[in-house]
Chain A
């Protein structure tokens, strides 16, 4: 390698290193803006502004889901296995909404543990399996819900 090439290589690598550090600093400081939703635990520690729309995400707690046909109100609880948030919602539920599955709701916090949702989104996981395989796994007792 000639001296010139070596010098250029070092310059490029150094500037790239500076770029990485700068990006790390920026993204770490902007974490609150980058995350798409808060977990129930995040919300417990956060200052709540009741005027602002927030998003909360986690798993739909088992046997917490309830639909009132008369008032058309959905009720369910979001959990991250440490803290819980109860959600009230009127509107269209996504097809993949289910207990023990991921969900993200957008709405207004009424208190540190309750949210009135304006929109509900299903957050699916990264597992892909044919239905027969799941049946077989369940039969053998090898399938675990998250």
Chain B
């Protein structure tokens, strides 16, 4: 069956874990060097825009992580293969931490630029909802003892929350928000200078490698847990 493919793929990737550790470390070092030192300040925001290099990749990947979570939940509904639950469970805490990073760094960035730590505009509010969705997903697995029931409820929750992703993405276009619209979208040329795009992309790659590394560690842990419960019974 075709869903065996991600399984074998992950088995191979797991053997490469040490490589992912070092790659993550190296890409982060290069990314941070560019973000802090080897890039110019912005013509209006000055050096405060350097916060963007940790804020934007975290925000992007928090949306990406949730998409993987939601698609895994949908796939579980259709195929009823427990492997999809393991995917979703493995990625949820990572996505939650990325969301919290986006929220906190955004708040720190907001003070010197907007003049406020927080505003209840559509982008910030929907991002906060994303954080609660991650928490709710993880809570269902913790709180509900009956694992079959937990699987159903968490998958339903994960799927329903998917609607929030396009809302976050397009909130800045659909409604008046304090948050600025997207700098980089596929429809138009990015309105960011190459000397600033480079650190942004490097940091995104670094975050991505960290995401994969953490996912593999967590996935391995979940598999070990499955083996433990099998021996116990």
Contacts and interface: CB of A to CB of B under 8 A. Distances in A.
Direct chain A–B contact by Cβ atoms under 8 Å? yes
Interface string B181-193: 1110000000111
Interface string A34-66: 111111000000000000000001000000000
A87 B193 CA distance: 34
Contact of A124 (B114, B174, B191, B196): B114
A111 interface: no
Nearest to A31: B175
Contacts of A38: 176
B74 A12 contact: yes
Interface residues of B, number: 41
Contacts of B129: none
A94 B120 contact: no
A129 B52 CA distance: 13
B71 to A, nearest CB: 11
Contacts of A129: 42-43, 192-193, 196
B140 interface: no
Interface in B63-118: 74, 77-80, 112-116
Given A19-B160, A131-B40, A132-B40, A126 B182 contact: yes
Q: Which 6 residue pairs are nearest across A and B when measured between Cβ atoms?
A: A94-B115, A130-B40, A36-B121, A128-B192, A126-B183, A131-B43
Interface of A: 5, 8-9, 11-12, 16, 19-20, 23, 27, 31, 34-39, 57, 92-98, 101, 104, 119-134
28 contacts: A8-B77, A12-B74, A19-B160, A23-B163, A27-B174, A31-B175, A34-B175, A35-B122, A35-B176, A35-B177, A36-B119, A36-B122, A92-B115, A96-B44, A96-B45, A96-B113, A121-B114, A126-B181, A127-B183, A127-B191, A128-B45, A128-B192, A130-B193, A130-B195, A130-B196, A131-B43, A132-B40, A133-B193
